Amino acid sequence: MTLDNILEEIKKAEKIVILTHETPDGDAIGSSLAMKLAVRQLGKEADVIMPKHSRTFDFLPEANTIKVQSEIERYDLAISLDCADLKRLAGAESFESAKRKIQIDHHSINTMFADHNFVNPVAPACCEILIGMFEYLGIEITQELGTCIIAGIITDTGGFQYADVTAETFEFAAELLRKGVNISNVYQKVLSTNTKPNFELSRLVSNRMEFFEDGKIAFTYMNLEDERKAGAQEGDHEGLVNIGRNIEGVEVSVFIREKEGANGYKISLRSKEYVNVADVALMLGGGGHIRAAGCFSIGTVEEVKAKVLAELKKVI
């Protein structure tokens, strides 16, 4: 598949939908909104549909146009962003019923579920793929579009700190800065501002932090009751898994969060230098990136904890 195919498909389509993975993060939201703005430059209006997301990203251009549900039965074209697997795609029905399907993603294990699959596993963010793609397609990286792009890059690289950041990442950032994108402002909004419930939850999960394997594994958890008490909303758990990872000597941080109505826990894994947590998550039925991965497991805190620790002990 070439990039020109994507351009052709967009030009041919009338009704376009943009979708992303469940519990959308900054890269999911940023890439979806950037794509909406790009499609508009080609003279088309696309629906961006995703589940309720963190209010942290409400400042992004066009965020107020995001819909939670589709009103259109069948789209001409569906574009999936930042999603490795149809099972994780929010609004998968709209994707499956669309006449043509495109996906753009940066996960190393991707099931190639579209007609056109544009997957670059070494890109640190889906937004970084988009910026190169738009330049090739002659789509102007406006200040608005650049703001969405940088929000995705900043969130997925933890503020340019992860090892998958490339020289290109900084070159793109420099280019965006020259175009008037306020990187400092976006950075502060998406990474350096905690909501009050997020702060309350960080106290709680810090107090519950346990260490295993000579301090190489940090483990903590959160229940639905904790979220309710903290007044947590969508996205208020974001970043809690980093508390463990940022502690000296810790290689893998495990954070588990009770999933509503599912009798189990959503597992978040982060590693610092050498453990491939994507492989660990894969063993537990999930997936992700080498240094950030996740999965779901049925059971109590103790049961899920035992299961994850058993897997981690094999690789640590």
What is the smallest separation between the CB atom of 189 and Mn ion, expressed in angstroms? 18
Among 91, 146, 152, 286, binds ligand 5GP (CB under 6 A): 286
- Which one among 287, 297, 305, 308 touches ligand 5GP, defined by CB under 6 A? 287
Q: Looking at 83-91, 135-143, 166-174, 182-190, which segment touches ligand 5GP (CB under 6 A)?
A: 83-91
Nearer to ligand 5GP, 289 or 305 (CB): 289
Q: Minimum CB separation from ligand 5GP for residue 238, in Å?
A: 7
The string of DSSP codes covering 205-273 is HHHT-EEETTTTEEEEEE-HHHHHHHT--TTTTTTHHHHHHTSTT--EEEEEEEETTTTEEEEEEEESS
CB nearer to ligand 5GP: pick between 180 and 285: 285
Q: Strand order in 116-119's β-sheet?
A: 46-48, 16-20, 77-81, 100-105, 116-119
- How far the first Cα of the chain sits from its last, in Å, is 39
* Contact with ligand 5GP (CB under 6 A) among 157, 268, 271, 297: 268
Least distance from C-beta 132 to ligand 5GP, angstroms? 20
* Selected binder of ligand 5GP within 30, 197, 244, 288 (CB under 6 A): 288
Residues near 151 by beta carbon (within 8 Å), at least 6 away in sequence = 26, 29, 30, 57, 60, 127, 186, 190
Assess 197 for contact with ligand 5GP (CB under 6 A).
no
Q: Is 24 in the site for ligand 5GP (CB under 6 A)?
A: no
Nearer to ligand 5GP, 134 or 265 (CB): 265
**292 counts as binding ligand 5GP under rule CB under 6 A:** yes
Footprint of Mn ion (CB under 5 A): 27, 82, 126, 156
**Residue 49, beta-bridge partner list:** 67
Angle at 74 between CA 65 and CA 128, to 5 degrees: 50
User: By CB under 6 A, is residue 105 in contact with ligand 5GP?
Assistant: no
Only one residue has tokens 């939670």, namely 68
Round to whole Å and give the CA distance between 146 and 167.
18
* Binding of ligand 5GP by 30 (CB under 6 A): no
Task: Give the sign of the dihedral formed by CA 128, CA 188, CA 48, CA 64.
Answer: negative
Interface ranges with ligand 5GP (CB under 6 A): 84-85, 88, 107, 241, 268, 286-289, 292-296
